[in-house]
Amino acid sequence: MSGCIFCRISRGEIPSRKVYEDDEILAFHDLNPQRPVHFLIIPKRHISTLYDVSADDQELLGRMLTRAAEMARSQGLDDGFRTIVNTGRVGGQEVYHLHIHIMGGADSVGPMVSALK
């Protein structure tokens, strides 16, 4: 996925403010933070959405979640944080490279979802 913006970030072609990196995972601050701390955890390998994961991805997805808390603590989130994965059109996904949002840094992140109008 040469044109995918998050693939380009994981290859270092587009700069990012890194939170964590290993062979398979990258985490970086969101360009347009919705809370005082807002970063994204991505697999380096391109996976478009949660619809596209398979049993082969279990270990990778597990690694992303099992490292989330230590990444959050490294950013000062010691009293909780919100974890969001948007999927597809209805889920409001804008970038079609799987990512986990981690948000916090305020006294409360706020309600889980706003009321439907």
Catalytic residues: 99
Residue 1 binds what, of Zn ion, ligand AMP, none (CB under 5 to 8 Å, by partner type)? Zn ion
Contacts 24+ apart (CB under 8 A), 61-68: 63/24, 63/25, 64/25, 64/100, 65/100, 67/20, 67/25, 67/41, 68/41, 68/100, 68/102
Residue 73 is encoded by which pair of tokens?
């603590």
Window 32 to 51, contacts with ligand AMP (CB under 6 A): 32
4 binds Zn ion (CB under 5 A): yes
**Smallest gap, in angstroms, from Cβ of residue 60 to ligand AMP?**
18
Residues interacting with ligand AMP, by CB under 6 A?
5, 14, 16, 30-32, 86, 92-95
